[in-house]
Structure 1
Amino acid sequence: MAQKGKASSKTTVRRIKATDDAPKKEKAVAKKFNKPTKITTKASKKSGEKGGLIGYFKGAWEELKLVRWPTRSAAWAMTAAVLIFTFAFVVLILLLDAAFNWGFNQILK
């Protein structure tokens, strides 16, 4: 059993990339992640300078170019899943409603 007041061994977390196989990059990675960075996208660079309605639509169009759209078969599969779950929950709600209705009618009689 661990004693109170004593710290257990300190765990070090190291970010690993697919190409990172040597620990020599650990210090460079630690320095890189400790600094606050500003994240910008292509859309914010291109249309962020222009304001107004035109800049908004240009930015929206640039963001839409970055979207990974699902394939037709994936879209149909997700649509079928939504319809099946919706049907299942409709049936569940109808059964619960009928059960509570029957129960309240039995109590009130």
Structure 2
Amino acid sequence: MNKIDVIYEYDNIINRLSEDIKKSDYKIQFFLKLLNLKRSFFYKKLREKRFTSAEMKLLSKHLYPEEYQNYQDTLLSGLLEKSRQQLKEGKTIDFENTIEASKRKYNVL
């Protein structure tokens, strides 16, 4: 997906956010508490489609749980694969050296 596709997809998500919230298993009170917003400000943001990316990340976790889980699984799989590749390439750090460096850095005896 290129950047333009992402922008248009985000626009589609924002446009149907109100409907997705209504169809969700959660009450509005849950989202108010989740985002730490007053009811009037929440509805204003919803009407004006002005949620921040951080707020959208919080909302998406609960509005689209299957997609969120797939995202997490893909992310973790990618990180594990990267770690395996680094191990194969010998890009490792000795644990004892790491502990000693941390002790020196934080003045721990």
| TM-score normalised according to structure 1 size | 0.26
Higher RCO (CA-CA < 8 Å; seq separation 6+): 2
Structure whose CA Rg is larger: 1
Structure with the largest fraction of helix:
2
